[in-house]
Structure 1
Amino acid sequence: MSNSDLHYLDAGALARLIRAREISPVEITSAILDRIARLDPSLHSYALVMRDQAMAQAKAAEQQLLADGPSGPLLGVPIAVKDLYWVAGSPTAAGTTIHRDFVPTEDATAVRRLREAGAIVLGKLQLTEGAFATHHPAIASPVNPWHADHWAGASSSGSGVATAAGLCYGSLGTDTGGSIRFPSAANGLTGIKPTWGRVSRHGVFELGASLDHAGPMARSAADAALLLGIIAGHDPLDPTSLPEARLSLPDAAHDLRGLRIGIDYAWNTEGTDDVIVQALDRAVNTLKELGAEIREVSFPDVRAVVDEWQVNCGAEVAVAHADTFPRLASEYGPALTRLIEIGRETSAMRYQEVLLNRAAFRGKVNKLMSEIDLLIAPVQPFAAPTHDQLSALAQDPDLNARLIQFTAPFNSTGHPSMALPCGFTSAGLPIGFQFVAPHGGEALLCRAGIAFQRVTNWHCAHPSL
């Protein structure tokens, strides 16, 4: 197999080729770094390419193979991480200019676990400022490889672009209001927002502490499951991490017999573009063919929790930036400034009201999820918007609430969800949908996603570059 055929392989498939010594870690790492050098000047997905460190890791992996030593499941596989994650000795700017000189002395726990599994860290991926809505005005935004005029998908945009463009074999993102699922949908990827606390946030720059979720993005559900299984688990350095030592993922199922999948047709379709509704209908038909039982449900009203997400996040981001805002306010971009100011102006009584409403909503969702195994919903009510449309969204609270109506509720409740591709628009833009599971239900997400992708090929399509 030539190097030109390798960049869109699944991470799991590449790992098997490396273990079989059909390709060397040095060879594949060099090839992907060359591809980054050729394509990323126009895609802007990387904030930092760590060529020397990556090649040193590749040579070490090759020596490990030659010595027939124990090898992890990702030995020699090149990945990349969102520039919120600490990587020891490398700058972590978090999409800002104020942190561009911050160099951590240790890896984030998720990064360390990827390294322990043998992965090669190619570099740090670009994101919106502080992981909020838009990129800092001084930083070039990642470009959607499917169509340069369209959104690349919120804060984990660099992770989405690099993974879709074959500039890494998987990536780490974060999701506070949809930022793993939005770029997964926009770039034709599969991404998992785990249960809150499933993946340690130690060494991950904070946006909204109780809303932030760290998770993987990949080109298939099988790869996303592989990455999640490696990074998940209790971490004594993160007191909010769940107590389970490791996430147990079952063998992939070929069908979905016995699985109860709920759908709220009214919620899914109200204000949702026809192309999204039609793609979701096709996905539901496929799930039926796989043996799943589709149950009509009534999802709790999301309007209050969506409207209050910004207040909730604003208060938390104001705390996260207390050391630098307002002291360095002039160096912040407009969107993050506005969110911090919302938080700083929120009274304690209003914040408590938001938390009580959020708890009540979580209880209603828990009750519904106790009656089904999975919920199916769109990721967003329209395909990736143009940059002009996105500018309007950033300025209009009602439009922004519409954008996050299917994603932010599950940041507020902490339920795990998986976004995966299910079609294309007439303009060739990917369309995604999501499964949502009960707390701790990542194995159900992976089972359903892998089974769906066994009989569909949306995830096998790649942009023309």
Structure 2
Amino acid sequence: MTDPLPFRGAADLAGDLRARKLSAVDLTGAFLDRIERLDPYYHSFISLSAESAMADADRADRELRAGIDRGPMHGIPVGIKDLIDTAGIVTAAGLAVRAGHVPDRDATVVRRLREGGAVILGKLTLTEGATLLHHPDTPVPVNPWGATRNSGFSSSGAGVAVAAGLCTLALASDTGGSIRIPSAFNGLTGLKPSWGRVSRAGVFPLAECLDVVGPMARSAADAAIALSVIAGADPDDPTTDLSQPPDYAAGLRLPIDGVVIGVDWERIATDCTPSVMQGLRAIAATLKTLGAIIAPVRLDLPDPQRIVALAAAGISDAHRETFPAFADQYSPAIRAMLEAGMKLPARDVAAAMSAAERFKGQLRASFAHVDLLLVPAMTGPAPSILGSGIEGADSVPHSMTYTLPFNVSGSPTITFPCGFDGGLPIAGQLIGPHLAESLLLRAAHAFQSRTEWHRHRPPAPR
């Protein structure tokens, strides 16, 4: 059965746009109408660019009619997390102190999307400064799978918008799990690239040594298309890798015969709910039937509390120009976080750096024997936001057990749905060595070619 228009994949839509079965103007108009009707409930967009989106869609149609094809994202409507610069459009990063910040140029990833013909619908809500909590004046995005459930952080709006069919895919960032956590909670496929694979030029930092930019989509196929457009070296970001990215979409067609996937069943069983364990076993069993080899490994992950000093110091550094000078424009929660970061002893940061290097070494040793690792994305479904004045964030530190370490290592990961628990999505996560995005996408796509979890849609809002 064909998905309704708002839930169709980018590759599918691209085919219809080129075959003149659908126009980019009609497609963009359908998304804008849907946003107008539904987003007053979901609160996923912080701002819309309806006029420029329709102009971009019209240009995409005219170019396609003239035989100008900019690639797989040509005419595809997307959303952008509101810490990624968009020329002439406020990019506030969820911060009151940046409410008037209007960039004069696009971030590199946005420029590459535009050059690829994508249609930018608007900017997506995030937590304050991409931290754990939303600013008190910002409506919290509503998880479409359950209004009383956490929608994730910090890319909450991106997770909700894609899951609710308000954009085809979204660009987001991840410092400790901000692509993977909302992807898991909202039933999406989220790709966290290797550190340096995608430019961060024009992206407001949370902690530069950990930050990455990547796509949140409904499938590995769509994530591959988006990554093909945004990946690659950038002179404006000297940390980007200089190697030429492969054709990620083309790589999906390759088999996974002989791919060795390591799993520490004993370790993850102590952390996960039975439903997540069942989902992970289903991933392993499905990939095994496709030729992958499932191998036992021992996974020694650092306690997030041992390495969180890296993030805390980075966050404090990112705000040095505005904090404490404009402390009154920060909420009490982030103010306390920044003050703690400023007081952090240097030896704690050094200890975190040492723990990070040890983990990187252990991970390199693991990848000498396996090609990928299978772990949970989150240890259970989205927690309740009820009974807590801080949006359920009291459950967050433990939940970062399987996310933050792979920011510290700079490893690429892909998160994708593998089941449900009481009507809420659950997800698995594959980890690869540096620059192994193509293999990660191929393995996730192989799983999704044999299963339907990524095709489930949340109920319509009442």
**What TM-score do you get using the length of structure 2 for normalisation?**
0.96
Contact 2:133 2:390 in 1 (8 A): no
In structure 1, what residue type is equivalent to 2:300?
P
Deviations 1:221-242 (A, max 9, x none): 1000110111000000001111
Question: Match of 1:462?
Answer: 457
Decide which of 331, 334, 337 is 1:333's aligned counterpart.
331
Are 1:144 and 1:152, in contact at CA under 8 Å, matched by a contact in 2?
yes
Stretches of structure 1 lacking an aligned partner (at least 5 in a row): none
Deviation at 1:152?
0.7
Q: How far is the alpha carbon of 1:392 from its aligned partner?
A: 7.0
Q: Verify the 8 A CA contact 2:168 2:217 in the aligned structure 1.
A: yes
Aligned twin of 2:192: 193
After TM superposition, the runs of 4+ consecutive aligned structure 1 residues lying more than 6 A away are 392-395
Shift of residue 361, structure 1, vs aligned partner:
1.3
8 Å contact 1:164–1:188 — kept in the other structure?
Answer: yes
Looking at structure 2, the residues matched to 118 and 395 of structure 1 have their Cα atoms a distance apart, in angstroms, of: 38
- Counterparts of 1:10 and 1:262 in 2: how far apart (Å)? 30
- What residue in structure 2 maps to residue 376 of structure 1? 374
Partner of 1:259: 259
Preserved contact between residue 172 and residue 215 of structure 1 (Cα < 8 Å) = yes
- State the match for 2:418 in structure 1: 422
Q: Quote the Cα distance in structure 2 between the aligned partners of 1:254 and 1:423.
A: 25
Q: Alpha-carbon deviation of 1:286?
A: 1.1
Q: Give the C-alpha shift of residue 391 in structure 1.
A: 5.2
Alignment of 1:62-101 (within 5 A): 62-101=61-100
The one-letter code sitting in structure 2 at the alignment partner of 1:54 is A
Contact 2:301 2:405 (8 Å CA) reproduced: no
- The C-alpha deviation readout for 1:304-363, integer Å capped at 9, x for no partner, is xx1133311111111110111111212212332232122101122221221122111111
From 396, 400, 416, give the equivalent of 1:404: 400
- 2:444 is matched by which residue type in structure 1? G
Contact conserved, 1:233 with 1:247, CA < 8 A, in 2? no
Alignment pair present for 1:313 and 2:314: no
CA contact (8 A) 2:42 2:142 kept: yes
CA distance in 2, matches of 1:401, 1:123: 31
The equivalent residue for 1:125 is 124
Residue 58 of structure 1 aligns with an amino acid whose one-letter code is: A
Q: Deviations over 1:188-210 (max 9, x none)?
A: 11010000010000000100000
Q: How does 1:31-180 map to 2 (within 5 A)?
A: 31-180=30-179
- CA distance in 2 between counterparts of 1:8 and 1:392 reads 31
Q: Residue 437 of structure 1 aligns with which residue?
A: 432
Q: Percent identity?
A: 44
Give the drift of 1:247.
3.6
Q: Which deviations, in whole Å up to 9, do the C-alpha atoms of 1:378-410 show, x marking residues without a partner?
A: 0111110011366579775xx543110011110
C-alpha spacing 1:233/1:138, structure 2 compared with 1 (3 Å): same
TM-score under structure 1 normalisation? 0.95
Is the contact made by 1:80 and 1:171 (CA closer than 8 Å) also made in structure 2?
A: yes
Distance 1:395 1:259, change over 3 A: closer
* CA distance in 1 between partners of 2:284 and 2:415 (Å): 14
Higher mean C-alpha deviation, range 202-211 or range 265-274: 265-274
What is the RMSD of the two structures over their aligned residues, measured on CA atoms?
A: 1.7
- Partner amino acid, structure 1, of 2:446: A
Distance of aligned partners of 1:395 and 1:246 in 2 relative to their CA distance in 1, 3 Å threshold: closer
Contact 2:169–2:215, Cα closer than 8 Å, also in 1: yes
Q: Give the deviation of 1:246 after TM superposition.
A: 2.8
Kindly indicate whether the alpha-carbon contact (under 8 Å) linking 2:386 and 2:392 is maintained by their aligned counterparts in 1: no
Please state whether the residue corresponding to 1:356 is helix, strand or coil. Answer: helix
For structure 2, the 5+ residue unaligned runs are: none
Residue pairs, 1:293-308, within 5 angstroms: 293-303=293-303, 306-308=304-306
Aligned length: 459
